[in-house]
Chains A and B, each alone.
Chain A
């Protein structure tokens, strides 16, 4: 490291550090972004893993000691980080157009481009269940998560106030378009936590995105929340009896951004441009069931790299899957995240 610093540009230029999420998701990025980028430029990609959030980034920027060149983050985090000046703005004009010449701004789906980040995939936080656990009735909707009578057993849920509050309100038959308005009132939050209270003793909390599929596979839990791509990976690549519910799933963008004060800003920009090109985004969807953030990439027909199955019915953006989806309210999360965390933490301790 000291040697690198001493030699400045050259050594640092040979590796790029990317902060991402590990597991099947990172494997798809390795296949679609990292390996082709290294082949093209000779620059090595080194990865570090995290579970979301911007606290550490904030710390690093504050101490002027940024370790990452590129970070992969969810949309609400990208908005918060950008608002706090932790990210370098990225101009749409820098991004490559679609193969037919459509400029990037028109090619990316609405909401996939923000001031400081470029969308890669649309993923969904879904509820999945162990098909072996239920012989007669199988869960069909997200409110079954709260039905211990018909669906007894442990549930694995993310140790974050994300998706579970929406699902709790959905279980009161609140229409999708009213959920965030209701969660914005004390009464709505009380209702949501009351639902969670009822299953609290049956929850196993997870933090790392790979855990829920593992807990299901090991029979530790009968239902789990998680990212749809991870459950797909477990079901298709590992042949596990995991079924995904396409009901009230929370869909969100995953985006690439460059921290302010990143060691190799120019290289990082080059990498972001490369990774979010039509070809690379389409390539990623051969490895994991996330929807590309570009229209031109979605339009390319693709099959799963390993098994050759049609990927489209497994994407969050597939129309029948999309019908009952909840659009994650990024602004709401970006502005209320801290307060939600506080309330969630105190509820956990109750």
Chain B
């Protein structure tokens, strides 16, 4: 027991350290690239030279897109991975995330973000953390259970480091990745999240991500406004998520080579940025301006919001590697500021500081996108340490997630998985059983007869094997039908000498499975099945059989595995 406690804790420690350092490196690399490539406002201001800067503004995201496209083409399934892949690995208990896809996605995200793509940096960070965690657990020789915990540790450390928010990191791993709260996972993930925080704060002394000075909710009726912001924010979040999906479909139908697509998106981004530089990159300056009264006029807020939403959908749909979180923060905070300006018009001076409205809008749009209400509230609380602000945000988040869940689903990640055929809303058991194919349950314990075998020999073989079904297989291995003991007995009543050969009396089974069928498919088709075992056929060849009992056992085993993971104490 003590040994297993120390093993999981050590795992959390190791993953926390490695991921925190990698996350700081990732963020710093992007900052450096933004300066070197004239994406950051400061570097653009220093450059000064106008005509040259125009060319650079278009060229950098275009070429960045090309590099991203080439990097993504090297990933086995030719797409950048993301948090959805980490969720899937954890939910299906596969335990291992591919290292190659992890490294290439991180590199592609770094280049894209460095070149000013309008995508998020936290998705890649979470995916990188989860991949690193998974890789460390494999190197350390840990099994599937620990592998899943290590993925959670990595995601927690990434969030904790990036936001300086250890509690949010801890909750994120449970709420979004693992989706259960076992004590066994809790300890190592806490260790990992804390280490991420320590590394970011103590070792590298990074300043807080987003400081907001003391602001307070002025009057209680404003909570009604926060509810309204939550509901409207959910609508914007859904428009945002739909836009990303539609853009992805448009991109798929474009007859262009893969790497050209992100380059095209980059070029369009650059052209928009000439008019509205606020859309470039992560846009931290915009976050700040949004909470300053009067920095934006209401039309500017609206235009920037729409522009950011469109270019983000474009960048993500056309294959830039990156997340959905940071742009959602920006879109949301612009929306919140707009709502705050509207409230000023309604309520006059009797209104809280615009920062409160802006933050409410920010979380109302973000939370339905990532499907993480608790994490979002905690990020606000840990970043600002302001109780009023966190409470206001909580109200908006609750209503935003309620509406988003009803109309769209739990999150964009879940929708992405759904489009790949994994419906997490149906429960983990189904996801896992859709993952396991019959191939691993194939049995070669069956009676096989050639088409020319006389029926009398078939009967003798069945009696010798103690079975009631014989499978008729040609010389080339093709399955033609089954001769059952029942059938033989019927024939014997008419003609006790059982003349004739197997081929003539073989009847194909009504239920034939393929080795690539999942346990879930098999289970659902079993309902009408009567018999001993089911033939499994691939390209008309008989690969083996699965006894009904094996399928039921696999189902029970899966349930048991889930129960063990979700209730494990140490």
Contacts and interface: CB of A to CB of B under 8 A. Distances in A.
Given A177-B207, A191-B295, A332-B46, A184 B41 contact: yes
B179 interface: no
B222 to A, nearest CB: 20
A185 B41 CA distance: 6
B351 to A, nearest CB: 17
Interface stretch (A5-13, A167-175, A200-208): A167-175
Interface stretch (B15-23, B284-292, B442-450, B533-541): B284-292
Nearest to A329: B42
Contacts of A331: 46
A59 interface: no
A182 interface: yes
Interface string A184-197: 11011001001000
A188 B213 CA distance: 18
B277 A185 contact: yes
B358 to A, nearest CB: 13
Interface in B265-303: 277, 284-285, 288-289, 292, 294-296
B289 A182 contact: yes
A172 B292 contact: yes
B40 A181 contact: yes
B284 A181 contact: yes
Interface in B34-69: 40-42, 44-46, 48
Contact of B285 (A172, A177, A178, A194): A178
B288 A335 contact: no
**B42, B48, B296 — most chain A CB neighbours (10 Å):** B42
B406 interface: no
B48 A336 contact: yes
A339 interface: yes
Contacts of B296: 187
Contacts of B292: 172-174, 191
A178 B40 CA distance: 12
Given A172-B292, A182-B285, A336 B45 contact: yes
A274 interface: no
B211 interface: yes
A180 interface: yes
Contacts of A183: 45
**A173, A174, A332, A339 — most chain B CB neighbours (10 Å):** A173
B371 to A, nearest CB: 30
B303 to A, nearest CB: 13
B46 A187 contact: no
Contacts of A173: 212-213, 292
Taking residues whose C-beta sits less than 8 angstroms from the other chain, chain B's interface range is 20 to 34
Contacts of B288: 174, 178, 182
Contacts of B212: 173
Interface string B452-485: 0000000000000000000000000000000000
Given A173-B213, A332-B45, A187 B40 contact: no
A176 to B, nearest CB: 9
Interface string A306-336: 0000000000000000000000000110011
A174 B289 CA distance: 9
A183 B296 CA distance: 15
A184 B295 contact: no
Given A178-B288, A182-B289, A335 B46 contact: yes
Contacts of A175: 207, 211
A185 B280 CA distance: 13
A185 B296 CA distance: 13
Interface string A46-89: 00000000000000000000000000000000000000000000
A22 B333 CA distance: 50
Contacts of B213: 173
Contacts of A180: 42
Given A174-B288, A174-B292, A184 B207 contact: no
A181 B213 CA distance: 18
Given A172-B292, A175-B211, A185 B48 contact: no
Nearest to B207: A177
Contacts of A185: 41, 45, 277, 285, 289
**A177, A178, A331, A336 — most chain B CB neighbours (10 Å):** A178
A332 B42 contact: yes
Contacts of B40: 181, 184
Nearest to B213: A173
A184 B284 CA distance: 13
Interface in B417-438: none
B45 A187 contact: no
Nearest to B289: A187
Contacts of A339: 48
A247 to B, nearest CB: 13
**A177, A182, A339 — most chain B CB neighbours (10 Å):** A182
B291 to A, nearest CB: 8
Interface string B403-422: 00000000000000000000
**A181, A194, A331 — most chain B CB neighbours (10 Å):** A181
A183 B45 CA distance: 9
A332 B213 CA distance: 26
**B48, B292, B296 — most chain A CB neighbours (10 Å):** B292
Interface in A225-249: none
A44 B8 CA distance: 75
Contacts of B277: 185
Contacts of A177: 207
A332 B44 CA distance: 11
A75 B48 CA distance: 21
A180 B41 CA distance: 9
Interface in B56-89: none
Contacts of B42: 180-181, 184, 332
A103 B45 CA distance: 37
A184 B289 contact: no
Interface in B203-261: 207, 211-213
Given A174-B288, A187-B295, A335-B48, A181 B41 contact: yes
30 contacts: A172-B292, A174-B288, A174-B292, A175-B207, A180-B42, A181-B40, A182-B41, A182-B285, A182-B288, A184-B44, A184-B45, A184-B46, A185-B41, A185-B285, A185-B289, A187-B285, A187-B295, A188-B285, A188-B289, A191-B289, A191-B292, A191-B294, A191-B295, A332-B45, A332-B46, A335-B45, A336-B45, A336-B46, A336-B48, A339-B48
Given A173-B213, A182-B288, A183-B45, 4 more contacts: A180-B42, A181-B40, A188-B289, A332-B45
What are the 6 tightest A-B residue pairs by CB atom distance, in nearest-first order? A184-B45, A184-B41, A173-B213, A184-B42, A335-B46, A175-B211
Interface of B: 40-42, 44-46, 48, 207, 211-213, 277, 284-285, 288-289, 292, 294-296
Interface of A: 172-175, 177-178, 180-185, 187-188, 191, 194, 331-332, 335-336, 339
